[in-house]
Structure 1
Amino acid sequence: MFKHTKAFSGFSVNDIAKAKKFYGETLGLDVEDMDGMLQLNINGGGQIIIYAKDNHMPASYTMLNFPVKNIEEAVDGLTARGVRFLQYNEPIKTDERGICRNGWPLIAWFEDPAGNILSVLQTEKG
């Protein structure tokens, strides 16, 4: 039934203006205003809708993953833009920079202004 339908995902935030600034300026994504919502236009043609929700509850899982060729450069670049990486001890362990090096892929998690969890993950072994 949906084999030829182009699907997209969406998630909520508690402040559209903060989300627009974070996703557009901090992460450098193409963000489009859509009647009180945002549309992230992802490289390759994908789209993600972000909508405001008064009783927003951040996801307790990774909502959005950004593949990168070099996780060290990605973490450094985002840190320079004010992004703080999450620290985990169990069941996974991150280093002082927030990078999990236990297995593959290398991955580091951070939050958007609404508390949703995002990640950068290295797509190539270096």
Structure 2
Amino acid sequence: MFEDAHGVAVIAASDLGRARGFYEGVLGLTPATEPSEEEVFYRLGQTQVLLYRTGFAGTAKNTVFAIETPHLDRDMAALRERGVRFEEYDFPGLRTVDGVADLATERAAWFTDTEGNILALSERK
């Protein structure tokens, strides 16, 4: 059915300029195409990421984008140096310690972008 298809992560931004500052300055992404006033495309590995302007940014209470890395601790330290604060959770089935949840198949951490979107960083075990 989707033999030749590919997916695109779609992330909302209420202030595209501010959001670009985060995705480019903090996460280190570079535009994959010429940005417009309404959207910008990035590429993270094989994944395309669309950051677009909308008034609904930050309204999702779930993870909107996850980055899988083989170097969770290193990448968390680098993001912390750039001002990222990792969330602390403590509810049934999920508890973080120093921002990290140790799950059955992965270690994961969550943080928000400038638009209030929840992003995750994870490392498979």
TM-score (norm 1): 0.85
Higher share in strand: 2
Mapping 1:34-49, distance limit 5 Å: 34-36=35-37, 37-44=39-46, 46-49=47-50
Indicate the percent of aligned positions where both proteins have the same amino acid. 26
Instruction: Please tell me the root mean square deviation across aligned C-alpha atoms, in Å.
Output: 1.8
Question: Cα–Cα, structure 1 residues 116 and 55, in superposed 2: closer, same or farther, change >3 Å?
Answer: closer
Q: CA deviation at 1:93?
A: 0.4
Give the unaligned 5+ runs of structure 2.
none
Runs of 4+ aligned structure 1 residues displaced above 4 Å come to: none
Q: 1:24 maps to what in 2? A: 24
Deviation for aligned residue 1:48: 1.6
Q: For the residues of structure 1 that align with 2:19 and 2:85, how far apart are their CA atoms? A: 16
For structure 1, which segment, 70-79 or 49-58, has the greater mean C-alpha deviation from structure 2 after superposition? 49-58
Q: Any unmatched runs of 5+ in structure 1?
A: none
The Cα shift of 1:110 comes to: 0.3
Aligned equivalents of 1:34, 1:65: Cα separation in 2: 22
